[in-house]
Amino acid sequence: MKRRFHPGRVARAVALSAGATATLAVLGLARPAFSDDFSYDPPGQLVPGSGSGRVDQNVYAPNMRYPMETGPAFANSQVWGHGGSQGPGGDQCDAANFSYPWHDNYCETRDYDMPLCPAGVGHQGQDTRAADCVKNVHWVVAAESGTVTSIGSYSVYITAADGTRYDYLHMGSLQIAVGDEVTKGQRIGKVSNEFGGTPTTVHLHFNLRQDVDGVGNVYVPPYLSLVTAYQTLMGLTLNPPEGSLDEVSCAVISGWAASLDDTSVPIEARLYFDGKAGDGKTVGHPILADESRDDLCSAIGSCDHAFSVGLPLSLLDGVEHTVKAYASDGSPDLSELGGSPKTFTCGFELPGGVRRKVKDVDAENAWRFSAVWDEISVSDGIVATLPEGADLEDAPALVVSTSDASVLYILDQGKKRLVPDAKTALAWDFDVDLATPMDDDALAQLPDGPVMRPRPVVLLADSGDLWLVDDADSPVVPVGVTSAAGGDDDGDALTPSSGDGCSCSMPGSDAGGYPLAWALAASAVGLIALRRRRR
């Protein structure tokens, strides 16, 4: 089965200072900008009026080389830039096109089928300009070693060993042929304006195409990969990030991570279970370190750099596991956090409710269940202790109130089920941007189903079947739900005191309808949504 992809959940910040814009010539051509001036707008922030961008903090090709031999270079929109058909006027050589900050233009308005874009269509990659607008001067190089798999009238595709395809459009002076094996950094052509006879500005259009689970082989956002590679090309080195792994228990994994060079943006902590970064066999699970913690305010001068997350269900097996934690600011090297590694030995307790069959792998991917975080292997006998409910829908059907965008529901068996808060939405990986608007009158006509549980719990039976543990279809509010914090209704710490079915313990579990770890970590359950990287 492919790795699952959950959009919008991993945040990466390459902490670079936003200095002054580049010094520019007055004769139409830009002079090289100073590398220390480099800055960039956030991913997904497009030129106003040019479409809806994708806010995606993944670095999909973290080790690639920048696809131009030398800098400076400038990522921005050629259509909505000076000299472009939708731009503010002027010439393509206008100095504004050769200045910082960089601008994302993945998902910019186009008619190409783009499943990862909010509109479903859009621009497939990133436009980037060389140091000036003179064509057939500046070398384009291979961002990664691979095989030249296609050369079109204005495109070159190079496929790497891991299956990632690197696309280079509008080049001139090509140096390669189909079937050639190229090495990272090898010259392959020059920045130009080739476009099959159709006018365009002098620029390189750069794509990344990867196999994304649950979606297919698609164009993924290249913007932050280009940012990271450009940082390396231009020698924009930073101090390593810092942080601490403070607690690993059956209740929570918590700590903090920050780049002290720039505390204005969060970075991520990356968790490795039973392995370490760089061992070639252990996957890192990113967690955005953006929670507020009072002690950090004075310690590092910025409060919002803590992280907390519940444990992966797959590791609640009563066996000792090790957690290594690192800080990642977008550079290739990770910094291990103070206090890392730590260990935990925790068991699983079957929550009450009913079991709903996840019909097949397509449904599993549509619901974005993670084999690490959401699923746990149990015997057929334990599964059978829960009464069987209706099969799970093939995919979540999200609707949002037209009068209040914070009111999100799932349509399930003809009923609307409230997603009670943003933490629950993140834990289930529900994206409100994909929800269908529905007016309040239409919503009121739908009967209420049970409120969505704080996080998904999926049982992998010996038979290979997957079952979601859920509430029975009848109650409006899950039976016995009380607040672990003493009855408040903020949605931060919900745990059933009782429920349908039984509670079947496995070694090391705590008492109650949910494991104690889940109840105590419920305030952090939303951060489970930031836990893993998929490509």
Q: Flag whether 150 is in a domain.
A: no
- Of 177, 175, 87, 171, the residue nearest 128 (C-alpha): 171
- Of 511, 416, 410, the residue nearest 456 (C-alpha): 410
Q: Which of 345, 368, 397 is the last residue of a domain?
A: 345
Least confident of 212-226, 307-321, 463-477: 463-477
Q: Which residue has the tokens 């919900």?
A: 494
Q: Flag whether 95 is in a domain.
A: no
**Exposed/middle/buried for residue 74 (C-beta within 10 Å: 0-12, 13-18, 19+):** buried
Q: What is the CATH number of the domain that holds 268?
A: 2.60.40
Please give the Cα distance from 521 to 413 (Å, whole number). 30
Structure tokens at 103: 């601008």
Residues 437 and 302 in one domain: no
pLDDT of the residue at 38: 86
Residues 375 and 489 in one domain: yes
Please give the Cα distance from 449 to 230 (Å, whole number). 50
Residues 379 and 283 in one domain: no
Q: How confident is the model at residue 255 (pLDDT cuts 50, 70, 90)?
A: very high
Neighbours of 320 (CB within 10 A): 10
Q: Degrees (nearest 5) of the Cα angle 89, 94, 100?
A: 110
Q: Which of 345, 370, 397 is the last residue of a domain?
A: 345
pLDDT greater than 70 at residue 9: no
Give the alpha-carbon dihedral of 3, 9, 12, 13, to 10 degrees.
170
pLDDT of the residue at 26: 27
Q: Flag whether 230 is in a domain.
A: no
Please give the Cα distance from 61 to 221 (Å, whole number). 10
Q: Flag whether 63 is in a domain.
A: no
Please give the Cα distance from 270 to 260 (Å, whole number). 17
| Overall domain count for the chain | 2
> pLDDT tens digits for 172-190?
999 999 999 999 999 999 9
> pLDDT tens digits for 328-370?
987 777 899 999 999 999 999 999 999 999 999 999 999 999 9
- φ, ψ at 365 (rounded to 5°): -70, -35
Residues 500 and 364 in one domain: yes
Q: Flag whether 299 is in a domain.
A: yes
- φ, ψ at 79 (rounded to 5°): -75, -45
Please give the Cα distance from 363 to 395 (Å, whole number). 6
Q: Flag whether 76 is in a domain.
A: no
Q: Flag whether 56 is in a domain.
A: no
Residues 367 and 421 in one domain: yes
pLDDT of the residue at 190: 98
- φ, ψ at 257 (rounded to 5°): -155, 140
> pLDDT tens digits for 29-41?
333 344 457 888 9
CA distances from 89 to 45, 84, 86, 250 (A): 21, 8, 8, 60
pLDDT greater than 70 at residue 397: yes
Structure tokens at 348: 């699983």
Q: What is the torsional sign of CA 217, 221, 224, 229?
A: positive
Residues 371 and 484 in one domain: yes
Residues 313 and 364 in one domain: no
Respond yes or no on whether the N-terminal peptide bond of residue 341 is cis (omega within 30° of 0). Answer: yes
Please give the Cα distance from 205 to 194 (Å, whole number). 11
In the three-class reduction of DSSP (H, G, I as helix; E, B as strand; rest coil), residue 345 is classed as strand
> pLDDT tens digits for 496-508?
333 333 333 333 3
Please give the Cα distance from 454 to 128 (Å, whole number). 43
Q: Could you tell me where the beta strands, DSSP code E, fall in 7-145?
A: 74-75, 126-129, 139-141
Residues 377 and 404 in one domain: yes
In the three-class reduction of DSSP (H, G, I as helix; E, B as strand; rest coil), residue 520 is classed as helix
Residues 315 and 360 in one domain: no
pLDDT of the residue at 238: 62
Please give the Cα distance from 452 to 356 (Å, whole number). 14
Residues 372 and 440 in one domain: yes
User: Which residue segment(s) compose the domain that 358 sits in?
Assistant: 354-504
Residues 293 and 333 in one domain: yes
Q: Degrees (nearest 5) of the Cα angle 405, 406, 409?
A: 90
Residues 465 and 387 in one domain: yes
State the number of CA atoms in the 13 A half-sphere of 481 facing the CB: 20
Q: Which of 294, 325, 345 is the last residue of a domain?
A: 345
- Output the DSSP codes for 137-190: -SEEE-SS-EEEEEE-SSEEEEE-TTS-EEEEESEES----TT-EE-TT-EEEE
> pLDDT tens digits for 273-299?
999 998 888 989 999 999 999 999 988
pLDDT greater than 70 at residue 15: no
Q: Flag whether 378 is in a domain.
A: yes
